[in-house]
Structure 1
Amino acid sequence: MFSISPFPPKGIITKEDTSSASSIKSGKSGKSNKSSNGADAPSESQNGDDNSSTSGSVGKLGGLFKSNSIRSGSISSVLSGGPSLSSSQRNMGSVPEEDPFDLDNYRQCLQWLQQTCRPVFMKELSDLNYVPVPITADNARHPELIGGIQQIQTASWKQCQVQILPAERWGKPQEVLQEIQALHKLRKCRQIIQLYGYLPSTSSTATQNPALLLQQPSYGSLRQFLDHHFDSIQWPERYKLALDMAQGLRFLTLQGVPCTLHSGNILIDSEGVAILTGFGIPGGLVASAPCQMTAQPSPSSLLVYMAPERLQGKTTYDPDWEIYSLGILLWELSSGRIPFDEIIARAEAGPRLAKNMEQLSSAIVKGLREETIAGTPEIYEQLFKMCWQGDAESRPPLEVVEETLQMLVVVEPMDMLMLPGEDAGMSISTIVSDSIDGDAISTHTRSGSIRSTSPTPSHARNGSRPQTLHQAVSVSNPDMTEWYILSGHDINGYAIVPTYSLECEITPLLTCLGHFLPSSLPILKELLDQDADTKLLVKRSNQTCLHVLLDRYIPIKNENGSSHLYAALNMLLEAGVDVNARDVQGYTPLHSLMRNPKISSDDVLEVMNRLVAKGADTSIQVPKDGNVLALAAKYLHFEATRAILNNDILASEPESVQHAIESCMTMTGRQTDKFVNLRTKTRELLKLWTGTNASPRREKVAVKVLTDAGLLDAMGIRVKSKATCTVPKAQLDCANQYYDAHVKKKRDMIHLQMMPSAMMR
């Protein structure tokens, strides 16, 4: 939930909102141009620069969108006159004194609109407003007016903000038909800019000036949104925006429409949905019109979104280009800024801009990428790094990207992006938008989130049944799981499950534990009853079943608490899973348990005790994080820290305790009283095990370890017997050394003093 509303009050953009005409350059979040009244200041659009400088190799769509057969019909009333122009518009330089505009050039477009669309009339619009927008090379139909100002008309229509695009701003007549047909073809995708319809006239006079009615997202470009609201959006909201971009891009790809992705071509609507623009014909002005009122990256910044093969001069369009650009945008969502923004800013301020940008381009081709931002979730980081691979064949398919983002959205569901004046419990009225043909009406209701989201993976949500054993297990469908097992599917077969990892292959048993829910218990039992091999590891990460369960487990709030976790743990322990196995990074299941911040401290203590009872060794070290004590202290599991110190003689050694203290103090989090007090409490506990205070405590632990192993009697005196196998050898060796050096002589003296008294009695 945002600490402040991420969106300004719903309404029409005013003239004050566009007081700044300069481009918003790339920069860190919160450092953006604002008008005097505090509203976001849209900048001079650079979308055309993107189309000309970054998409010149894409080429025109040509015959990609073939015109529908146009029936003969009279539109003489529409073509009878030219556009009606007010004197104020002429004085502001919006059109030349002698406008060469000829409506007859658009006859074919108007015929198509008339026969395909239900018309919208001016009386249906409200809150009409004119917004001054600079005329640039990107949005100018009349090049001689570059540098002037044009009036863009906005309005409200059926609870949506729209832009009225008169025919005089449509662009080249031979391309407009292809553009509006492309928009019509793409109208069913929520994440793509919508062409709602057309107005037969924008004037009540006899002179007719037809116009298009375009969606005008209320809250600016993604670049503008991140500049002003990055600090108030959390990871679930970022996942939603990323998923919107992936879904829109995939829809464009399926329709064969080339797209140019950057944070200026993605707009945010009033419900927080990312809307894609900047696709289709490079020179078209229709699809790019909504971007003209929004803040854009500087022209120099656009090269950082280009795939290396484009920077090297490849001219044949490839959809893999956009996967690379999507990876850059995912990183931008994690950082709030454009990649290499400081380098670009210095280059733009210096005299050798072209040379410096050429050097940056060359470095990107050679593999230069931005660093991961601290706190970025591991799966999300893995995703954008695969998307921005220099080799196009190494980038994941779009459907895999979408599946992974969908999993992140499901795992960490977000609260609704609240609009000003709305309460969390209020029912939001249904927003109905007419499609361009008027006969297909799409209904979109917000209920508890940006869009209604079912907590199931996409292949289950769309009504289709799981197609493989792995899919049935991942969606916790016991009936389909049993059916596939009985059908002979390989119960130990490996497969890549996108919602688990983009590159690791796992078995059905590992899939079950990686998506573990209370409803997964019957499936786990069935797989174990069918002799699923518990010794098989996750490929590449070498994680065991225990690693996966403790690393991926997410608590589910229900009346039974964590009982399903304990039940699964007991099943695996009974099956003989190695409790001290190391993964590729050297972590044991105990390390994975401590590193999972979603598991409560009470559950951590209980699971640790059960693992230790089966021989888990808390003293095993890993190069990065040290032993289990250090991780328990880092994540402030106070009771687990106490239990380890009281039972692990190696953990109480000075070096181990000092490392744990350092780990505890480097832990960051919300500076609440509870957090600060818990960190202080953990640190004070560790300090009790340093200096002279540590000796009696370590003596007690050494005696306990040897007694549990059967090497000491009730008086603490050595007995001749073999040690039990439940105590790790490293613990025994350390306890023996400490006992011989500090305890044995003391215990022998006490024993001798007691012997005469016993003989006299």
Structure 2
Amino acid sequence: MGSVLEEASKQQQPEPFDLENYRQCLQWLQQTCRPVFMKELSDFSSVPVPITAENAQHPDMIGGIQQVQVATWKQSQVQILPADRWGHAQYVLQEIQALHQLRKCRQIIQLYGYLPNASPTASHIPALLLQQPSYGSLRQFLGHHFDSIQWPERYKIALDIAQGLRFLTSQGVPCTLHSGNVLIDGEGVAILTGFGVPDGLVTTAPCQMTAQPSPASLLVYVAPEKLQGRSKYSPDWEVYSLGILLWELSSGRVPFDEIISRAEAGPRLQKNMDQLSSAIVKGLREETIAGTPEIYEQLFKMCWEGEGSSRPPLDVVEETLLMLVVVEPMDMLMLPGEEMNMHVSAVVSDSIDGDTLSTHTRSTSIRSSSPGPSHARSNGPRPVTLHQAVSVSNPDMTEWYILSGHDINGYAIVPTFSLECEITPVQTCVGHFLPSSLPILKELLDQDVDIHLLSKLSLQNCLHILFDRYIPIKNENGSAHLHTALDMLLKAGAEVNARDVQGQTPLHLLMKNPKIASEDVLGVLNKMVEKGADTSILSPRDGNVLALAAKYLHFEAARAILNADMLASEPESIDRAIEACMTMTGRATDKFVNLRTKTRELLKLWTGKVGAPRREKVSIKVLQDAGQLDSTGIRAKCRVARMAPKAQLDCANQYYDANIKKKREMILNNMGGFQGLIR
């Protein structure tokens, strides 16, 4: 049993420096990741980090200090780590390949990109840009904030851990789970690190700057069967570790911390830890903390059962935590003017792909259909406010609270939506949107809710929220409810070009939601444009809507934008869209590669002489719709079909005068004017 402590302090002897292997790392990065240049980084700082047994490349280094460089990239804190300082070349390549494979999950540490030639050791060794969560490790976070966080926040952190862990196991990747390998980012999301093959760790570098449990205390996270060495790796080990972390979230401390502290202070550490290991194998567990919710207590006790076969599967753990996240916080819903104890800063994290959105999903199993306020369903508490009734898709309770005089335009914090942002009932509805939400949306709109109100803090309207948070629900009607809701919001007068606090329009968020199918993106785009949505509006970070359509490979949407938006085919816009398309990374399947190539070739068709006829066609259409050209393409006063935005008209007029006007007039003159053309 002492092997656990010995394994925690095991050192790998350095191998001879092999520049060629690091060049292979650089080549792999060039093929799969985005290059980031120094000019894109800001707020540089150098943090002194003690060299420990976990991060030393050689035993002689232990006890010294190394400087770790930290910077800001796209509003996210990153750690700049030269590859040769991470470890030996073969392990670095293994780790960056693992990170690339797992990049789609928000709860997994992100490799944002690399800096070419950033190493002082050799000009061909890249530096890796790793996510550096601002709250440090879970151990550090609980040490500083435990007294101020409430159960809704603990549920959300636990759910993040379970979702990240389930994603890792689905990919066949083991995880060494303890409160030092779970990091908390600026949005309060739990990020997993420290995963890899069963006999070794991967991605330990970001943990260098975070508080870790002591080496001796790591054994309390280890499943009894692993402590005994009587079985090979199994996901059941990680369910056990998750159960220990759930208890740690309820208590704010490492299990058996007093026993471990006394053992570390005494002369017989190894013997005392062996005794603790034996007691854990025989069934010793920590006591439940007073005030722990009953369901949560039952869950972690099931997870830390002594036999792996008695522990629940990870998907059951996730579903239980999801129920707690959605249902339990209803009792803690906050009204305007109240303040939450925990503050989580609104930091936007952007991965290489830009699509590392939160993987939190909403379950339909808890949606209430109770007939009236006197009938509460057995699977959750009865909603006690209008916002609660709307968020759980209970149309009867929604109608009841409206008739009871609840403010249909009132603001409230809904923990399942945001820990900070106050929203109205109609925004709550589209933020938790399901097919069963349609009657509620109709009821609210029939009551003349103010559709123009914006969510506080994020300044999003209903269209922003619908496109940003929409998650497809598999049923016989597919995504029909999304289009129905959009039609209702557009008819009610929702602003299609509104900008949120980050300068994004609803169309920007539509393109960035990877869960919306490309055919639905095209259908929504057409409806929005018909209502006056301007696809040429630039967002501060991502460019116009065409660039986002190209980045997320919405081929048909990109073609529709080019055929309608004169500004989209400007050379600068096309160049940015091609760059965005090529920075999009994904699984190297034939379908992905073909779609990316197809999108890139479409964009190239709109450049130079090849693209001139296409630009001419769009220019004439824009001016004809605005009543500035007749059917022959000559200047005339005609009936206005649809007025384009001023920027579009100016661009079309400029292109027409420079490239089309004289050519059109010459053709008509050669054909005998209008009569000749008609004949």
Category of TM-score, reference length = shorter chain: 0.5 to 0.7
Aligned position for 2:217: 47
Report deviation, 1:528: 0.7
Report deviation, 1:692: 1.8
Distance 1:627 1:605 in 2: 16
* Among candidates 9, 29, 39, match of residue 194 of structure 2: 29
Aligned position for 1:712: 629
| Structure 1 residues 653 and 505: CA distance shift in structure 2, 3 A | same
Q: Is residue 2:384 matched to residue 1:467?
A: yes
SS in structure 1 at match of 2:497: coil
* Among candidates 662, 665, 670, match of residue 745 of structure 1: 662
| Structure 1 residues 640 and 152: CA distance shift in structure 2, 3 A | same
Report deviation, 1:30: 4.4
Aligned position for 2:6: 20
Report deviation, 1:638: 0.2
Alignment of 1:530-609 (within 5 A): 530-609=447-526
Distance 1:181 1:549 in 2: 40
Alignment of 1:335-346 (within 5 A): none
SS in structure 1 at match of 2:612: helix
CA contact (8 A) 2:518 2:554 kept: yes
| Structure 1 residues 187 and 570: CA distance shift in structure 2, 3 A | closer
What do residues 516-540 of structure 1 show as CA deviations (whole Å, max 9, x unaligned)?
1111111111111111110111111
Report deviation, 1:675: 1.0
Q: Is residue 2:400 matched to residue 1:483?
A: yes
What do residues 324-361 of structure 1 show as CA deviations (whole Å, max 9, x unaligned)?
9xx9xxxxxxxxxxxxxxxxxxxxxxxxxxxxxxxxxx
* Among candidates 605, 609, 619, match of residue 692 of structure 1: 609
- Most deviating of 236-245 and 580-589: 236-245
Aligned position for 1:163: 282
CA contact (8 A) 2:325 2:416 kept: no
CA contact (8 A) 1:466 1:472 kept: yes
Report deviation, 1:497: 0.7
Aligned position for 2:569: 652
Q: Is residue 2:597 matched to residue 1:680?
A: yes
Aligned position for 1:636: 553
CA contact (8 A) 1:661 1:683 kept: yes
| Structure 1 residues 182 and 681: CA distance shift in structure 2, 3 A | closer
CA contact (8 A) 1:187 1:194 kept: no
Alignment of 1:207-286 (within 5 A): 216=306
Aligned position for 1:511: 428
CA contact (8 A) 2:353 2:584 kept: no
Normalising by the residue count of structure 1, what TM-score does the alignment of the two structures yield? Answer: 0.49
Alignment of 1:344-493 (within 5 A): 410-411=361-362, 454-455=365-366, 462-493=379-410
Which residue identity lines up with residue 510 of structure 1 in the other structure? Q
Distance 1:730 1:571 in 2: 29
| Structure 1 residues 489 and 638: CA distance shift in structure 2, 3 A | same
* Among candidates 647, 668, 681, match of residue 585 of structure 2: 668
CA contact (8 A) 1:646 1:701 kept: yes
Distance 1:722 1:148 in 2: 92
Distance 2:566 2:578 in 1: 17
| Structure 1 residues 217 and 504: CA distance shift in structure 2, 3 A | farther
What do residues 145-173 of structure 1 show as CA deviations (whole Å, max 9, x unaligned)?
445588659999xxxx94166xxxx9xxx
Report deviation, 1:651: 0.3
Report deviation, 1:34: 3.7
| Structure 1 residues 49 and 373: CA distance shift in structure 2, 3 A | farther
What do residues 181-223 of structure 1 show as CA deviations (whole Å, max 9, x unaligned)?
979999981355699xxxxxxxxxxxxxxxxxx955769xxxx
Q: Which structure has greater helix proportion?
A: 2
Indicate the RMSD between aligned Cα atoms, in angstroms: 4.7
Aligned position for 1:610: 527
CA contact (8 A) 2:431 2:465 kept: yes
User: What is the aligned-residue identity percentage?
Assistant: 55
SS in structure 1 at match of 2:282: strand
CA contact (8 A) 2:566 2:651 kept: yes
Aligned position for 1:624: 541
Which residue identity lines up with residue 460 of structure 2 in the other structure? Q
Report deviation, 1:495: 0.5
| Structure 1 residues 693 and 534: CA distance shift in structure 2, 3 A | same
* Among candidates 294, 298, 306, match of residue 190 of structure 1: 298
CA contact (8 A) 1:152 1:163 kept: no
Which residue identity lines up with residue 381 of structure 2 in the other structure? S
Distance 2:528 2:522 in 1: 10
Normalising by the residue count of structure 2, what TM-score does the alignment of the two structures yield? Answer: 0.54
What do residues 579-631 of structure 1 show as CA deviations (whole Å, max 9, x unaligned)?
11111111111111111111100000011001111111111111211110000
Report deviation, 1:710: 2.4
Aligned position for 2:256: none
CA contact (8 A) 1:514 1:552 kept: yes
Distance 1:460 1:378 in 2: 35
Distance 1:511 1:709 in 2: 38
| Structure 1 residues 460 and 732: CA distance shift in structure 2, 3 A | farther
Distance 2:456 2:264 in 1: 57
Aligned position for 2:250: none
CA contact (8 A) 2:429 2:440 kept: yes
| Structure 1 residues 469 and 661: CA distance shift in structure 2, 3 A | same
Distance 1:756 1:724 in 2: 25
SS in structure 2 at match of 1:190: helix
What do residues 421-444 of structure 1 show as CA deviations (whole Å, max 9, x unaligned)?
xxxxxxxxxxxxxxxxxxxxxxxx
CA contact (8 A) 1:478 1:523 kept: yes
Distance 1:370 1:490 in 2: 32
CA contact (8 A) 1:634 1:667 kept: yes
Larger C-alpha radius of gyration, 1 or 2?
1
Structure with the bigger RCO (C-alpha within 8 Å, sep 6+) is 1
| Structure 1 residues 509 and 26: CA distance shift in structure 2, 3 A | farther
CA contact (8 A) 1:194 1:215 kept: yes
Which residue identity lines up with residue 727 of structure 1 in the other structure? A
Which residue identity lines up with residue 674 of structure 1 in the other structure? K
- Unaligned runs of 5+ residues in structure 2 are 11-52, 56-192, 201-212, 221-258, 330-339, 369-375
Distance 2:319 2:652 in 1: 53
Aligned position for 1:4: none
- Unaligned runs of 5+ residues in structure 1 are 1-14, 36-42, 51-135, 171-178, 196-213, 220-232, 251-318, 328-366, 381-407, 414-452
Distance 2:616 2:288 in 1: 82
Aligned residue pairs: how many? 427
Distance 1:564 1:370 in 2: 29
Which residue identity lines up with residue 190 of structure 1 in the other structure? Q
CA contact (8 A) 1:46 1:138 kept: no
CA contact (8 A) 1:21 1:44 kept: no
Aligned position for 1:339: none
| Structure 1 residues 246 and 18: CA distance shift in structure 2, 3 A | farther
CA contact (8 A) 2:263 2:273 kept: no
Which residue identity lines up with residue 617 of structure 2 in the other structure? K
Distance 2:350 2:307 in 1: 30
